[in-house]
């Protein structure tokens, strides 16, 4: 999901937190008392398991994207010009390594645009890291790509914008690359979008560095997911993954990133949904058979429960060390701790596909 995180605002936020703590410690009066906000769980779903353990750098994690190389997990996430952390297992201990895009991308079209929602893939011997530049509430976003032969911190080449044309039809954020692993000649499928007519799918040229068309009228797009049922009609952060004979598109829906007193209405909190299709380009349907583009379909995978609020920004992978067992990873907040950007946590759970639909399960 999109985040407006700038180094200047981060520093200011930390300063405010320090000053607030100092005032409270010294007994200095504030204009109004600070009261912790408690999420109302009365209508939240409670039959989800809690996130599995995470140690090390598990906070200030948004929109994680993970890949394993040899015996090391590499986690890329929003903020700080794409934060890189590594760990020997998905549970950690995660160690922050630094920012991937340094210096800042030079192709911003808005001075306040920040780097959001990385997506990591390996094609042949090259790692491709897709990202978006965006500013909350503006439709002037763009998608860029960086490549590396190793994923080491200082090995990345930023190729800049992929030159997707701007359009009133969509917003260019939340990129994701995937193929059909069972087809040696599979095209390179690419999804993006949110807020403006939801999630779109297209194909990339073999270079994987640019859009196929520079004009929006010539760009071949398929709208695979559309949501008009949420109070915030949002479907975003698509992640498509093939399991057995189906393509599963996981996406985030609902209101993300609000803080008290402006939390989402009950039932409209950020959550993880899924639709599936027999072909990469759809049509995608949910477990009830509803079309995910025409009927706002989507099956709930993970929602708010207990001290877990607004999970989203998800990805899926298998754990080789556990005989290829699938897991879902995501970000979330704990209402008992807080809802601010720096309080977002990395979470993950095991998935079962026994019914043909992904279900979050205990270990």
pLDDT of residue 15: 32
For residue 324, count other CB atoms closer than 10 A to its CB.
Answer: 9
Inside any domain, residue 79: yes
List pLDDT tens digits, range 13-68: 333 333 333 332 333 332 322 233 333 433 344 589 999 999 999 999 999 999 99
Q: At a CB cut-off of 8 Å and minimum separation 6, what does 344 contact? A: 59, 60, 61, 62, 331, 332, 333
Cα–Cα nearest to 330, from 312, 316, 318? 312
Tokens matching residue 85: 């952390």
Inside any domain, residue 270: yes
Mind telling me the catalytic residues? 63, 236
Domain count for the chain: 1
pLDDT of residue 194: 79
CA distances (Å), origin 270, targets 36, 121, 315: 21, 26, 15
Inside any domain, residue 92: yes
CA distances (Å), origin 340, targets 32, 78, 138: 19, 14, 22
The phi-psi region of residue 193 (left if phi > 0; otherwise alpha if psi is between -120 and 50; otherwise beta) is left
Inside any domain, residue 93: yes
Inside any domain, residue 309: yes
List pLDDT tens digits, range 296-318: 999 999 999 999 999 999 999 99
Please, which residues bridge with residue 128 across strands? Answer: 121, 147
Q: What's the CATH code of the domain at 181?
A: 2.115.10.20
Round the average pLDDT of the chain to a whole number and report it: 86
pLDDT of residue 232: 61
For residue 139, count other CB atoms closer than 10 A to its CB.
Answer: 16
Distance CA 115, CA 63 (A): 11
Inside any domain, residue 1: no
Inside any domain, residue 355: yes
Tokens matching residue 266: 């009950």
Computed from CA positions of residues 286, 201, 66, 166, in that sequence, does the dihedral angle turn out positive or negative?
Answer: negative
pLDDT of residue 139: 81
Q: Which domain holds residue 13?
A: 7-361
Inside any domain, residue 2: no
Cα–Cα nearest to 300, from 271, 269, 333? 271
Please, which residues bridge with residue 332 across strands? Answer: 345
Averages of pLDDT over runs of 10 residues in the chain (363 residues) are 36 33 31 33 64 98 98 95 97 98 82 90 98 85 97 96 90 96 97 85 96 80 85 84 98 91 91 98 98 94 97 97 95 97 98 98 93
Cα–Cα nearest to 333, from 273, 266, 263? 263
């Amino acid at each position: 999901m999109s985040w407006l995180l700038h180094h200047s605002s981060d520093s200011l936020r930390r300063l405010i937190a320090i000053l607030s703590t100092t005032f409270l410690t010294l007994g200095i009066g504030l204009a109004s008392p600070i009261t912790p906000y408690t999420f109302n769980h009365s209508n939240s779903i409670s039959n989800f398991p809690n996130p599995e353990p995470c140690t090390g750098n598990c906070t200030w994690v948004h929109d994680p994207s993970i890949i394993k190389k040899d015996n090391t997990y590499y986690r890329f996430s929003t903020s700080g010009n794409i934060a890189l952390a590594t760990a020997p297992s998905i549970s950690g201990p995660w160690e922050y390594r630094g920012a991937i895009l340094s210096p800042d991308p030079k192709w911003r079209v808005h001075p306040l645009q920040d780097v959001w929602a990385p997506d990591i893939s390996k094609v042949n011997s090259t790692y491709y890291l897709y990202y978006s530049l965006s500013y909350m509430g503006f439709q002037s976003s763009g998608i860029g790509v960086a490549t590396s032969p190793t994923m080491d911190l200082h090995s990345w080449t930023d190729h800049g914008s992929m030159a997707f044309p701007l359009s009133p039809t969509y917003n260019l954020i939340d990129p994701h690359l995937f193929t059909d692993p069972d087809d040696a000649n599979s095209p390179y499928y690419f999804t993006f979008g949110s807020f403006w007519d939801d999630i779109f799918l297209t194909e990339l040229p073999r270079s994987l560095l640019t859009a196929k068309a520079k004009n929006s009228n010539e760009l071949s797009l398929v709208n695979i997911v559309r949501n008009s049922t949420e109070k915030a009609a949002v479907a975003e952060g698509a992640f498509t993954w093939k399991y057995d004979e189906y393509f599963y598109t996981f996406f985030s829906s609902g209101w993300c990133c609000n803080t008290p007193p402006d939390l989402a209405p009950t039932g409209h909190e950020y959550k993880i949904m899924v639709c599936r299709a027999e072909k990469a380009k759809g049509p995608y349907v949910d477990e009830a058979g509803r079309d995910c583009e025409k009927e706002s379909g989507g099956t709930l995978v993970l929602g708010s429960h207990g001290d877990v609020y607004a999970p989203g920004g998800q990805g899926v992978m298998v754990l080789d060390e556990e005989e290829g067992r699938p897991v879902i990873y995501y970000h979330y907040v704990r209402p008992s701790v807080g809802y601010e950007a720096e309080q977002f946590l990395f979470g993950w759970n095991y998935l079962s596909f026994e019914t043909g639909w992904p279900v979050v399960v205990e270990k």
